[in-house]
Structure 1
Amino acid sequence: MRFQTLATLLAGAMLSTAMPSPAADAPATPSIAGCEPGGPCATPLPVKVVVVSLFEIGKDEGDVAGEFQLWKTRRGLTQRIPFPQGFHDLYYNPETQVLGVVTGVGTARSTAATMALGLDQRFDLSRSYWLVAGIAGIDPEDASIGSVAWARYVIDGDLGHEIDAREIPADWKSGYFPRQTKGPNDMKGKPDPSGGEVFQVNPTLEKWAYNLTKDIDLPDSPAIAAERARFTDYPHGQEAPFVLEGDTLSAMTFWHGEKLTGWANDWVRYWSGGQGEFVTSAMEDTGVMQAVTYLDQIGRVDRDRVLVLRAGSNFTMPPPGIDAATYLLRENEGYAGLEASVENLYTVGSRVVDELLDKWDRYKDATP
């Protein structure tokens, strides 16, 4: 009897050794406790998805949500990682291997933070997908506040020539025009984007993300319905929030008005070679794309794994009957679509993040 018991125990021990539990199969998350920010690190953290937020209103949790808060709380980004070379500390989920970064507002900070993260040897970003997810101004010609747009082109709105509008020739629509042209009426030739004026998102990846999310029913509210109802001359601006494809213009200036919205449409059309459509205005995306482009050239990241998603928190121009200055100053007291935009941004972006994580064996080596 004792022999049988011992034999049974030995057999069980051999079986457990030969067939380890699923938990034993899963590799432990490396520790970066001994690695200094920006210094060498022999055990970098694997990162499947980088969620790039651009700002947070107040705290990271527990108050009015900006771009980062919902990602941090709902995606379990609980591991705080010091990031003194950037604007905001990083947060990581060791189980899902999702990393959250807040770059700070504007192309200068977004470029610096993205480059700093990409060069930080504490992270293995070689297979990471990047989701730039932020709020934006939205053109009522194309969509309403609360709507969410996947960008195909990211266009820079800063590099150019400018003459004060009070001094421009009578036949000029704007005093702002591209370098290497003779004015805003000379925007029919082939553009030279050597200054970093245009970045194209991987078209196959962008189309995959759009098709995955285009039928999501986004919530509406009486508040944003009342606001968009004022845009009587813009049918798409009066629609309930929806998912669309549309390109983003990044500029350090928070501009506003019907005439500047017209300029933005012309600008995006010119720099995209007639292929793009201005939908959202933002302040950081060209910085992220420029940094990722350089990081790709040294093998730190894969530029073809970047997506840009923007949700309309405010319109880029006032409704009929209100002047631009009055409407802009009122919106600065609180964007009419802020709550809807951050919620819908998370809803749409999460669908893509979940798909990537659920099918990581498929997507880790090849983009969709």
Structure 2
Amino acid sequence: MIGRPTWMVSCLALLLGMAGAGTAQAARIPVRVVVVTTFEVGNDTGDVPGEFQTWVEKLPLPQVLPAPGTWHGVMRYNPDLQVLGIASGEGPEHMASSITALVLDPRFDLRHAYFVLAGIAGIDPNFGSAGSAVWAPRVINGGLAHMVDAREIPAGWPDGFTPVQGSVPDEQPVPPLHSLSGDMAYTLNPALVRWAYDLTRAVPLADTPALRAIRARYAGYPQAQKPPTVLLGDTVSSETFWVGARMNRWAERWVTYWTKGQGTFATTAEEDVGFMQALTLQAQAGRVDPDRVLILRTASNYDMPPPGQTAAALLKSEATEGGYSGYLPSVAAAYQVGSVVVRELALRPPGP
């Protein structure tokens, strides 16, 4: 499903960074926390917000820093909190290249910095509701697989996906998570994830008339009908914007398979596997700490239609109704929940 391996993007960015290592280095800019968002729809301030704008305006991130080699071209910085903000660009390739460029930037020493990815996502209606915020204990690669066309799926298969390392959906034993065939799952620091969840689990989230109307359509899905809340659940990362009940069942199975029954599918987004791949490789070089990474995904929409609606009709309704059904509440929730954690991390003493 992912067309270009993200490790290739990271390697290219690494070579470019090494080529520029001989240039004169400015004084290091202290960074305690890196806030990572994936897109901005217009300006960084003053218009309809993307993921980045709310952080820029509210944290705030007043200083503009050039960001060569990244999608957005600039970063934002708060010198009092020593928080750096970046918009990576959508998709795992943009994420991997932007994070690698950032880590190799000689202006920063990020060995003891925390990284907090805060972005919007689709949510499984079997897990939670639009407008909710979900801290991810794990990232599962939903883009690397063998895929059999739906018209040719063998009888008895639950779907058309098998591990690249296998030939049947339930290949046993479960192949290695990290191998020559690709990276399939990452587990974030459990203590840090739990700390972030406990710190924010009681944060009240907006519940708008529009969100209530959306929830009401999901009769028979009790978790989807609850008001927005802060949750813990795993994210499936895939560049393909899949949709529908059958694909949702695949994602639930895929998480269960790769976590050997320990994980729970909650959200679906593009960039998380590129984020984890880039940071993991840079951690091997001692440039970042892999135990200081958090992922927060807030639900802008459901990943499957309500009863009585087809997947194609859901896509059409999202397009004709101005975008994701819970877009603005989810953007607001990403900052509302994420900023609590970022501020606390920024107050921690620097260093190991």
Letter in 2 for 1:153: R
Superposition pairs for residues 349-368 of structure 1, below 5 Å? 349-358=338-347, 360-361=348-349, 364-366=350-352
Superposition pairs for residues 114-153 of structure 1, below 5 Å? 114-153=99-138
What RMSD in Å do the two structures reach over aligned CA positions? 1.5
Aligned residue in 2 for 1:68: 52
Q: Distance between the aligned counterparts of 2:313 and 2:296, measured in 1?
A: 29
Q: Distance between the aligned counterparts of 2:136 and 2:172, measured in 1?
A: 23
CA distances 1:237-296 after superposition (whole Å, capped 9, x unpaired) = 000000000000110100000000000011111112211111000000110111101111
SS for the counterpart of 1:355 is: helix
Pick from 183, 191, 209: which aligns with 2:196? 209
Q: Distance between the aligned counterparts of 1:255 and 1:336, measured in 2?
A: 16
Q: 1:188: how far off? A: 5.0
Contact 2:83 2:346 (8 Å CA) reproduced: no
SS for the counterpart of 1:73 is: helix
Contact 2:39 2:88 (8 Å CA) reproduced: yes
Q: 1:180: how far off? A: 2.1
Q: Distance between the aligned counterparts of 1:249 and 1:146, measured in 2?
A: 18
Q: 1:330: how far off? A: 1.6
Aligned residue in 2 for 1:109: 94
Aligned residues: 327
Aligned residue in 1 for 2:331: 342
Aligned residue in 2 for 1:12: none
Pick from 82, 87, 111: which aligns with 2:71? 87
Give me the identity figure in percent.
49
SS for the counterpart of 1:68 is: helix
Aligned residue in 1 for 2:27: 43
Residue 317 (1) aligns with residue 304 (2): yes
CA distances 1:311-354 after superposition (whole Å, capped 9, x unpaired) = 00000000000000010222134111011101111111011012
SS for the counterpart of 2:96 is: helix
Q: 1:109: how far off? A: 0.7
Q: Distance between the aligned counterparts of 1:93 and 1:59, measured in 2?
A: 18
The 3 A distance-change label for structure 1 pair 232 and 40 is farther
The 3 A distance-change label for structure 1 pair 187 and 329 is farther
Q: Distance between the aligned counterparts of 2:254 and 2:263, measured in 1?
A: 10
Q: Distance between the aligned counterparts of 2:228 and 2:297, measured in 1?
A: 13
The 3 A distance-change label for structure 1 pair 98 and 347 is same
Aligned residue in 2 for 1:176: 161
TM-score w.r.t. structure 2 length? 0.90
SS for the counterpart of 2:304 is: coil
SS for the counterpart of 2:291 is: helix
Contact 2:117 2:295 (8 Å CA) reproduced: yes
Q: Distance between the aligned counterparts of 2:324 and 2:254, measured in 1?
A: 25
SS for the counterpart of 1:45 is: coil
Aligned residue in 2 for 1:230: 217
Contact 1:37 1:120 (8 Å CA) reproduced: no
Contact 1:191 1:273 (8 Å CA) reproduced: no
CA distances 1:203-256 after superposition (whole Å, capped 9, x unpaired) = 110011011111111121111000011000100100000000000011010000
Q: Distance between the aligned counterparts of 1:62 and 1:163, measured in 2?
A: 46
Q: 1:308: how far off? A: 0.3
Q: Distance between the aligned counterparts of 2:257 and 2:66, measured in 1?
A: 41
The 3 A distance-change label for structure 1 pair 306 and 177 is same
SS for the counterpart of 1:240 is: coil
SS for the counterpart of 2:97 is: helix
Superposition pairs for residues 272-311 of structure 1, below 5 Å? 272-311=259-298
Aligned residue in 1 for 2:3: none
Contact 1:191 1:270 (8 Å CA) reproduced: no
Q: Distance between the aligned counterparts of 2:50 and 2:172, measured in 1?
A: 39
Aligned residue in 2 for 1:77: 61
Q: Which structure has the bigger radius of gyration? A: 1
Contact 1:37 1:122 (8 Å CA) reproduced: no
Q: Distance between the aligned counterparts of 1:334 and 1:132, measured in 2?
A: 22
Q: 1:171: how far off? A: 1.6
Letter in 1 for 2:82: Q
Which 10-residue stretch deviates more, 175-184 or 86-95? Answer: 175-184
Q: Distance between the aligned counterparts of 2:200 and 2:300, measured in 1?
A: 19
Q: Distance between the aligned counterparts of 1:133 and 1:175, measured in 2?
A: 31
